[in-house]
Amino acid sequence: MKKDKRKLFFSKMHGLENDFMIVSALTQKFFFKKEIIQSFSNRYTGIGFDQLLLIESPKIKNTDFHYRIFNADGFEVEQCGNGARCFAKFIFDNKLIDSKMIKVGTKNRILKIYMQDKNNFLVNMGSPEFNPKKIPCLSLFEKDIYALEFEKKKIFFGAVSLGNPHCTIIVNDIKKVNVNKIGSYLEHHKFFPNQVNVGFMQIINKNHILLRVFERGVGETRSCGSGACAAVAIGIKQKKLSYQVTVELLGGNMIIKYNKRKNVLYMIGPAKKIYDGIIYY
């Protein structure tokens, strides 16, 4: 081992099989760049993960910690719901706070995360944002349903921001959808200046949906917490879903609740630690 290699302590966790490398910058320095994150994320030669989560000291007034998210491609993004639960589990497992609730600052909002038990957490994901400028998407007006052409056919979808941009397509059978092809096309479409996460939602009834998600900078993941919130928010806006929905993803189920009076979405689901590790880079 070369003497100039840096040692990095980390934890590997997953939330419904959406997996993460969690690094605390509270007690160590992480000299990272895009290429390093890409090498860490490689599932054959690195650790393997969908996102890297970085825990930092608070940067926003009246918060306990700061939360940064980097996709497997090395680029920083604004939000990750499944990651928020794993972030919280790391905090509680390592007794970094004497409370069952933490306030976490992100790139563009504050999350409140509550520990229900050592493996299950409730996250206040904040308010869904449908204003096209805030998503962002290139539409002059806010619409319930937008349309773009794909292979000489129209794709109809809703669009929303949960701190990061999402669009959700309602489909008849998610098993028959080419998630990667359509997801990649919409991810890079000029309609979405900051790219977009793409959800494919099959509605079983008003309280139960099936969902697959293509995450920008990653591809299809086993689950996506902000994607689940986005799908439910869009389903409610289109009057197709109720205010409490079980979201069935490839990696398992979570519950999304909407408080109409507060205009807030709550996500309830598990987080599990796989192992603690050390890597030299």
What's the chain's length in residues? 281
- Our answer to whether residue 137 is catalytic in this structure is no
Give 231's contacts (C-beta < 8 A, 6+ positions apart): 166, 168, 199, 201, 209, 211, 247
User: Nearest 5°: CA angle at 89, between 83 and 91?
Assistant: 105
> Which own/partner pairs from 132-135 qualify as long-range (CB within 8 Å, at least 24 positions apart)?
132/159, 134/161, 135/159, 135/160, 135/161, 135/165, 135/192
User: Which whole-number Å values give the CA distances from 249 to 143, 211, 223, in the listed order?
Assistant: 26, 5, 6
* Alpha-carbon gap, residue 264 to 160, rounded angstroms: 13
* Alpha-carbon gap, residue 281 to 274, rounded angstroms: 21
Q: Which of 80, 137, 167, 229 is catalytic?
A: 80
96 with 279: CB under 8 angstroms? no
Q: Which of 86, 137, 167, 224 is catalytic?
A: 224
103 with 62: CB under 8 angstroms? yes
- Our answer to whether residue 167 is catalytic in this structure is no
- Would you please indicate which residues are annotated as catalytic (active-site) residues? 80, 224
